[in-house]
Amino acid sequence: MDVFSIGSYRFWFGLILRVRLILNQRPDIRAPVMEVTLNNDAFVTPGYIFIAPYETELPGPYIYDSGGNLVWSGADGSTSELFHDLQVCPYEGFDHLCYFQGNQIEGYARGRSIILNNDYEQVATVQSGDGLTLSDMHELNIIDDTLILIAIYQPRPYDLQAYGGPAVNGWAMDGVFQEINITTGEVLFQWGSLEHVPLSDTYTPLGLNPVVGDGTSNATAWDYFHLNSIDKNDDGDYLVSSRHTSCIYKISGQDGSIQWRLGGKNSSIQLLDYNFSAQHDARFLEENDTVTIISLFDNASNGLLSTSQGNLQLLSNQHAFIGWGAHPAVSEHTSDGTPVFFATLTDPQSMNYRAFRFNWTGEPTDDPALRTYAAAPGSATTFWVSWNGDTEAASWMFYGTTSDSDQFMLLAKADRQGFQTTYTSTNYHPQAYAEALSSDGTALRNSSVVNTTSSPPSVD
Ligand SMILES: *[C@@H]1O[C@H](CO)[C@@H](O)[C@H](O)[C@H]1NC(C)=O
Ligand SMILES: *[C@@H]1O[C@H](CO)[C@@H](O)[C@H](O)[C@H]1NC(C)=O
Ligand SMILES: *[C@@H]1O[C@H](CO)[C@@H](O)[C@H](O)[C@H]1NC(C)=O
Ligand SMILES: *[C@@H]1O[C@H](CO)[C@@H](O)[C@H](O)[C@H]1NC(C)=O
Ligand SMILES: *[C@@H]1O[C@H](CO)[C@@H](O)[C@H](O)[C@H]1NC(C)=O
Ligand SMILES: *[C@@H]1O[C@H](CO)[C@@H](O)[C@H](O)[C@H]1NC(C)=O
Ligand SMILES: *[C@@H]1O[C@H](CO)[C@@H](O)[C@H](O)[C@H]1NC(C)=O
Ligand SMILES: *[C@@H]1O[C@H](CO)[C@@H](O)[C@H](O)[C@H]1NC(C)=O
Ligand SMILES: *[C@@H]1O[C@H](CO)[C@@H](O)[C@H](O)[C@H]1NC(C)=O
């Protein structure tokens, strides 16, 4: 069975304890709660966790720290579209954030790739070119600082008689990828599976299930290939992973011909003492004239088994960071496989296509959000402050007026407690603001001045 059929997966993964953060100053943020069960500080690679869960209360792109604290929510609840593949990508010389956003259609999607700068402002969007249907979410791979590799699930009329389907009005799904200039949208290279890989190479028979399709319409085109990753090497050749042929293809950047097939029904390379199937996320790691080293996420591997999705990111220290796909879990392992980090979303039915660890500096244009509450004039005042997307604030200064004076006084300084920092003053402060400080004490930004309310804080 495959992926992304909304509502069809339910997992046993723990109980629902808390499925959202309770944020008194940002009720719009309803991020999944991440529970960290292994965090071996001495070995865990510094950096944040990038995920885009769905089948959860508010699907969206989210960043967490290794303590499981939310750092950024990119979901505002204004769309029913889903998000995938949130990652830090090099674009025009700087780290950017990129992700896919679009409509999910069974095992694939139609949408576009979005690039944000480190202020969280959108600087580019990319979608398929040359008249093809909208981009799919299975790949978002920015290369050479200005180019992107994307996947497209393109239905094509096809004679399916030999496979028990219609001869006329039959449809097969072409696994297409394009390399696109992000700035101009120009398609620089395009390849499609139907031209190069016979339908007989698939392991998923026509009509196997609604995700695979029965080939009778463009909406149910037979997804015999299921392209799920694209990479490019220094020679300008490509590596394509197909889940439904359980095969990885090296494709010539000159003419699109297949240079070799690894795995599947007609492997051109002998697999010695290993095999894989329904794999994801094939990447070029190292290459010279005689040896090519690649990585992949093998659905059939030992360990925590995932029925769909999943990825493997090799970090520069040779650690592996793994997203467990249909399980809303991530883990990090040293080069000998020892786990040093494990976290899951507590919403057991959520899923996440790919997960990553990256360093990231976020400097949001939005100001910090503050809410203050006192049961009645004269009562103690509680402050809640957060700054969605900020990675630089290490502490907060809290300022307030008093019943006697409209002058703002410094009340306290508190270390950052996570996404939200809370402070309670025993005195009553009718008005307040908070100021973010960096780790070296530099003042970064103020919240706006707020009036203390006596309406009870939101509880949910
Ligand atoms: C992409 O387009 C921009 C703008 O025309 C151009 O400067 C750049 O060289 C192009 N990049 C490639 C790799 O073609
Ligand atoms: C499928 O066919 C319908 C009806 O002809 C058309 O409106 C739609 O755009 C097609 N979809 C794709 C993805 O080609
Ligand atoms: C296997 O691949 C070779 C090319 O490497 C091709 O000549 C042959 O026909 C293929 N066999 C099948 C059964 O598809
Ligand atoms: C592939 O792996 C499976 C499961 O471990 C095993 O049963 C099978 O024999 C392997 N096939 C080959 C060709 O090694
Ligand atoms: C190619 O890489 C392999 C594996 O890293 C290495 O053993 C081999 O010496 C390299 N060959 C050349 C010609 O550099
Ligand atoms: C992925 O692995 C799981 C566990 O081994 C298995 O149940 C499932 O059938 C596999 N999926 C595919 C498409 O091979
Ligand atoms: C983050 O930066 C630190 C310090 O440069 C480095 O050791 C670490 O590998 C980086 N983390 C990632 C995920 O690249
Ligand atoms: C915050 O506001 C106070 C009072 O107006 C001001 O002195 C301070 O410079 C502000 N901080 C920042 C970072 O703008
Ligand atoms: C705070 O209260 C004052 C006085 O009632 C009002 O003028 C001001 O607009 C309020 N400020 C905010 C941010 O609501």
Nearest CA to ligand 2 atom 1: 218
Which pLDDT does position 297 carry in this prediction? 85
CB atoms within 10 A of CB 348: 18
With a 6 Å cutoff on the Cβ, whether 218 touches ligand 2 is yes
Among 122, 136, 11, residue whose Cα is nearest residue 85: 136
Nearest CA to ligand 6 atom 11: 307
Query: Could you say which ligand is closest to the alpha carbon of residue 448?
Result: 9
Q: Which of 196, 203, 251, 266 to mutate to test the pocket of ligand 3 (most atoms within 8 A of CB)?
A: 266
The pLDDT of 233-245, averaged and rounded, is 97
Query: Could you say which ligand is closest to the alpha carbon of residue 144?
Result: 1
Nearest CA to ligand 6 atom 13: 278
* Closest atom of ligand 6 to CA, residue 204: 13
Query: Could you say which ligand is closest to the alpha carbon of residue 372?
Result: 9
With a 6 Å cutoff on the Cβ, whether 45 touches ligand 6 is no
User: What H or E segment, with its residue span, contains residue 177?
Assistant: strand 171-181
CATH number, domain 369-451: 2.60.40.10
Q: CA 460, CA 19: separation in Å to the nearest integer? A: 10
Nearest CA to ligand 5 atom 7: 291
* Closest atom of ligand 2 to CA, residue 154: 13
Q: CA 257, CA 148: separation in Å to the nearest integer? A: 21
Q: Given pLDDT bands bounded at 50, 70 and 90, which one contains residue 7?
A: very low
Say whether pLDDT at 383 is over 60: yes
Say whether pLDDT at 5 is over 90: no
Average pLDDT, the chain: 91
Which pLDDT does position 306 carry in this prediction? 60
The pLDDT of 104-130, averaged and rounded, is 96
Which pLDDT does position 287 carry in this prediction? 92
Say whether pLDDT at 234 is over 60: yes
Q: For 222-279, what is the HEC assignment? A: ECCCCEEEEEECCCCCEEEEECCCCEEEEECCCCCCEEEEEECCCCCECCCCCCCCCC
Which pLDDT does position 40 carry in this prediction? 96
With a 6 Å cutoff on the Cβ, whether 406 touches ligand 9 is no
Q: CA 445, CA 387: separation in Å to the nearest integer? A: 10
In the chain, what are the domain boundaries? 34-358, 369-451
Which pLDDT does position 300 carry in this prediction? 60
Higher local confidence (pLDDT), 411 or 20: 411
Q: Given pLDDT bands bounded at 50, 70 and 90, which one contains residue 311?
A: confident
With a 6 Å cutoff on the Cβ, whether 375 touches ligand 6 is no
Q: Given pLDDT bands bounded at 50, 70 and 90, which one contains residue 20?
A: low
CATH topology of domain 34-358: Neuraminidase (2.120.10)
Say whether pLDDT at 19 is over 60: no
The pLDDT of 119-134, averaged and rounded, is 97
Say whether pLDDT at 71 is over 50: yes
